[in-house]
Structure 1
């Protein structure tokens, strides 16, 4: 059922048939309006919020002139009197896109100021109320609204709905596997950790690492290995490519969490007590992975698993099918890469005094070495399979 909120106003005008502009009272402004259409949640630690709060609480009578105002989207508006407007809002689960499109910081400032007993009786704010907007119209206004602090590209991509295919996939996975993912799709998202591993762009990087068609050192392509820079924008072609890679995402997440387990075991039982011999591993920090079952008591660069994950693309064919059943080789191959290459590489970087995690993870030499090692490992496994099949055929003929 739609919910109703009452807005106390000094006056209002019909700008057009679908928009009302009002001068609203701050001291009674509804601060529990949904933030569904907004492209980010307010950050109470940001300079933007602090400026709004200071302006509101020091000179509330001048707030109307100094504030950009609030933009709302509602399903219906019903004037109750000359000084009251009743706003009908459809919740997201009812198919609505109603709530605060722009001005979330201001609404949060209202709430905090009232909680701290500031006198806001003289404070007013301009409110633009759009009526019956479609989802695309609401997103268009949210993206176009001016803000006094930058909105990250990820938030804009999310506002356009370009992450929906990933959200739907993870939703199905949560139901099937009885797990919960903690993914930040937009700026200051409540309930989502700030760990870079839980950023939606991190998941896209993991999928990129398994794209053996786009990133293949054996081809004539200039791009030999996947980039680990952010990929905030998604074109139609990119979405189609990632849709093909999406079924591989659980494997990428598994490889990452298993690597973290191996690192945890290594630093828990070091050769020299009290020392960590791996570059870029910080025991003073913590790491959260996207799958909420996995948290670790050490900090590691967000990209640390990328070269390892990328090595697994050698085991995929051009249709992204595993040449060998994943469960038959995944653990053994990971141990092979760790013991013979990656651990030694991180130890050598630590001895050399290199501590910049992102630089360590982006060294093309280690990507090349892991890729070549994967090819050699695959060839050995295929030879074993051929040998096993030959023996089976000989036994069959003998019988």
Structure 2
């Protein structure tokens, strides 16, 4: 016997003799519908699922407008007298049918999870397109075309809301003041912006986050000792905008550190100890890299997180108001060379010998972040001691 499911609806109409479009209630939506026609299993870890779940649970009343809807295939559909519910008759594969969810498996999974967590979904609605009596071939054809549509990434949504405007204004003023050009991709397939991940606006966030000595301070009793997280904001709150605005003046220094490190890496692989051998993990000499303010392309490919631990170590030299304790130009180059020679080059070489690729391992390796931070503290203390001793010698000379 075919199984039946009930769908509570606000309205429905016949798009054609074999298709009904309805506005369905989410809180009573059946989450055990078969996935026979769908070409992929829903994945809780996917970006698609997380975006749907976030939209559903934060503003359920706006879910209908923000979501493209669910597509079903049924054997028969029977509306009740008032058209407030639809009875769906579904033939599963074991019964010789191919009915069920054609597109929307992630959405139905989000409904189930939200119900399990007791979210109030009474105001949430979803558009449901119901095809009646489709052949298996037709159902698979619709499923394939539906599921090959690329989801809109969170960066594009943030940009559409205008949340990047404060960054754009700052970069525009910096371009005028310093006669430089930034190539930043704020949304998917943006024309004129390089496809390099280093030119993504999310990479810009990572660079300035690395210099937030107040949020990421190992000396304080905080869980977030280092900015190792790779998460990027899907929504920029007023509080977050204020924090980032304070950090933006540090961006030129972060960009300088990153570009200078890339120059050091390029020099290293251009003069290898053994001819034709690259001894640095995750540096691909068959690719090129362009930074978001670089005037030329580097002759190697590198993971986007390559410079982050180095940049983060510089936050030791900042006070609570994000001012440099020592003038940046007095120590920046020497300190970078110190970190490269004594720590970072050795780390990349050891990972290469071990057969590891670095990539996101950089952000997961607390040890390298901690080592560079401690080294920065030691370097700062030595530099301050030299300044104190120099002042004392001057005072003694003047006294004599």
If the TM-score is normalised by the length of the shorter chain, which range does it land in? 0.5 to 0.7
Q: Contact (CA 8 Å) 2:305, 2:362: kept in 1 or not? A: no
Partner of 1:102: none
Among 275, 280, 283, the alignment partner of 1:281 is 283
Partner of 1:220: 221
Q: Contact (CA 8 Å) 2:205, 2:232: kept in 1 or not? A: yes
1:329-340 paired onto structure 2 within 5 Å: 329-340=331-342
Partner Cα distance (1:218, 1:202) in 2: 26
Give, in angstroms, the shift of residue 295 of structure 1: 1.6
Partner Cα distance (1:348, 1:226) in 2: 23
1:300-322 per-position Cα deviation (integer Å, ceiling 9, x unaligned): 00000000000000000000000
Q: Could you tell me the TM-score, scaled by structure 2's length?
A: 0.62
Partner of 1:99: none
Partner Cα distance (1:363, 1:302) in 2: 15
Give, in angstroms, the shift of residue 221 of structure 1: 0.4
- The alignment covers a number of residue pairs equal to 258
Among 386, 393, 396, the alignment partner of 2:388 is 386
Residue 301 in 1 paired to residue 303 in 2?
yes
Partner Cα distance (2:362, 2:387) in 1: 36
Partner of 1:150: 151
1:17-72 per-position Cα deviation (integer Å, ceiling 9, x unaligned): xxxxxxxxxxxxxxxxxxxxxxxxxxxxxxxxxxxxxxxxxxxxxxxxxxxxxxxx
Which one is further off, 201-210 or 168-177? Answer: 168-177
Q: Could you tell me the TM-score, scaled by structure 1's length?
A: 0.62
Give, in angstroms, the shift of residue 356 of structure 1: 4.1
Partner of 1:188: 189
Return closer, same or farther for 1:184/1:287 CA change in 2, 3 Å cut-off.
Answer: same
Partner Cα distance (2:204, 2:213) in 1: 17
Partner of 1:61: none
Partner Cα distance (2:359, 2:299) in 1: 17
1:118-165 per-position Cα deviation (integer Å, ceiling 9, x unaligned): xxxxxxxxxxxxxxxxxxxxxxxxxxxxx9542111111111111111
Return closer, same or farther for 1:360/1:246 CA change in 2, 3 Å cut-off.
Answer: closer
Q: Contact (CA 8 Å) 1:304, 1:361: kept in 2 or not? A: no
1:208-257 per-position Cα deviation (integer Å, ceiling 9, x unaligned): 00000000111100001003413132111111100010000000000000
Give, in angstroms, the shift of residue 289 of structure 1: 0.1
1:158-186 per-position Cα deviation (integer Å, ceiling 9, x unaligned): 11111111111111111111111110001
Q: Contact (CA 8 Å) 1:179, 1:292: kept in 2 or not? A: no
Other structure's SS at 2:207 match: helix
Which one is further off, 299-308 or 169-178? Answer: 169-178
Partner Cα distance (1:327, 1:279) in 2: 30
Partner Cα distance (2:358, 2:338) in 1: 25
Partner of 1:142: none
Partner of 2:292: 290
Partner Cα distance (1:343, 1:365) in 2: 15
Partner of 2:200: 199
- Displaced runs of 4+ in structure 1, greater than 3 A? none
Q: Mind listing any 5+ residue stretches in structure 1 that lack a counterpart?
A: 1-146
Return closer, same or farther for 1:387/1:356 CA change in 2, 3 Å cut-off.
Answer: closer
Q: Mind listing any 5+ residue stretches in structure 2 that lack a counterpart?
A: 1-145
Other structure's SS at 2:360 match: helix
1:274-305 per-position Cα deviation (integer Å, ceiling 9, x unaligned): 10000000001110100041420100000000
Give, in angstroms, the shift of residue 363 of structure 1: 1.0
Partner of 1:231: 232
Partner of 1:244: 246
Q: Contact (CA 8 Å) 2:317, 2:380: kept in 1 or not? A: yes
Give, in angstroms, the shift of residue 361 of structure 1: 4.6
Other structure's SS at 2:287 match: coil
Residue 343 in 1 paired to residue 345 in 2?
yes
1:1-399 paired onto structure 2 within 5 Å: 149-233=150-234, 234-398=236-400
Return closer, same or farther for 1:150/1:162 CA change in 2, 3 Å cut-off.
Answer: same
